[in-house]
Amino acid sequence: MQTYTWNGDYPLYRVLDENGVVCGQLPSLSDDKIIEMYRWMIITRYFDQRAVNLQRQGRTGTYAPFSGQEAAQIGSFALIEKDDWLFTSYRDLAGLMYYGFPMHQSLFFSMGHPFGGHVPEDMNVLPYQIIIGAQTLHAVGTAWASKLKGENRVSVTYFGDGATSQGDFHEALNFASVYKAPTIFFCQNNQWAISVPLHRQMATPTIAQKALAYGMEGIRVDGNDLFAVYNAMKRAVDRGRAGEGPTLIEAVTYRLGSHTTADDPTRYRDADELMEWKDKRDPIIRLRKFLENKGIWNESLQKDAEQQAKVLVDEAIAAAESFPKPNPADVFDYVYSTATPDLVEQKTKFLQHGGRER
Considering just the CA atoms, what is the radius of gyration of the chain in Å? 21
- Rounded Cα distance between 224 and 68, Å, is 8
Looking at the predicted structure, is the pLDDT value of residue 8 above 70? no
**Structure confidence at residue 19 as a pLDDT band (50, 70, 90):** very high
What is the tens place of the pLDDT at every residue in 242-262? 999 999 999 999 999 999 999
- For position 33, what pLDDT does the model report? 98
- The answer to whether residue 268 is catalytic is yes
Of 329 and 227, which is predicted with more confidence? 227
- The answer to whether residue 259 is catalytic is yes
* Domains recognised in the chain with CATH numbers: 31-326 (3.40.50.970), 327-358 (no CATH)
Length of the chain: 358
- Rounded Cα distance between 267 and 161, Å, is 20
Looking at the predicted structure, is the pLDDT value of residue 5 above 90? no
Identify which of 208, 178, 186 has the alpha carbon closest to the alpha carbon of residue 7.
Answer: 208
Percent above pLDDT 70 for the chain: 96
- For position 356, what pLDDT does the model report? 61
pTM: 0.93
- Annotated active-site residue in 56, 118, 200, 268: 268
| Positive or negative: CA dihedral 345, 350, 353, 358 | negative
- For position 9, what pLDDT does the model report? 64
Contact by Cβ (8 Å): 123, 340:
no
What is the tens place of the pLDDT at every residue in 57-84? 999 999 999 999 999 999 999 999 999 9
* Mean pLDDT confidence for 81-107: 96
- Annotated active-site residue in 14, 45, 259, 288: 259
**Structure confidence at residue 357 as a pLDDT band (50, 70, 90):** low
- For position 155, what pLDDT does the model report? 98
* Mean pLDDT confidence for 209-227: 96
Q: Which residues are within 8 A (CB) of 88 and not within 5 positions of it... i.e. 6 or more apart? A: 95, 96, 125, 126, 128, 129, 135, 157, 158
Using CB atoms within 10 A of its CB, is residue 236 exposed (0-12), middle (13-18) or buried (19+)? buried
- The answer to whether residue 158 is catalytic is no
- Rounded Cα distance between 32 and 306, Å, is 17
How high is the mean pLDDT of the chain?
A: 93
**Structure confidence at residue 128 as a pLDDT band (50, 70, 90):** confident
- Annotated active-site residue in 255, 281, 286, 288: 255
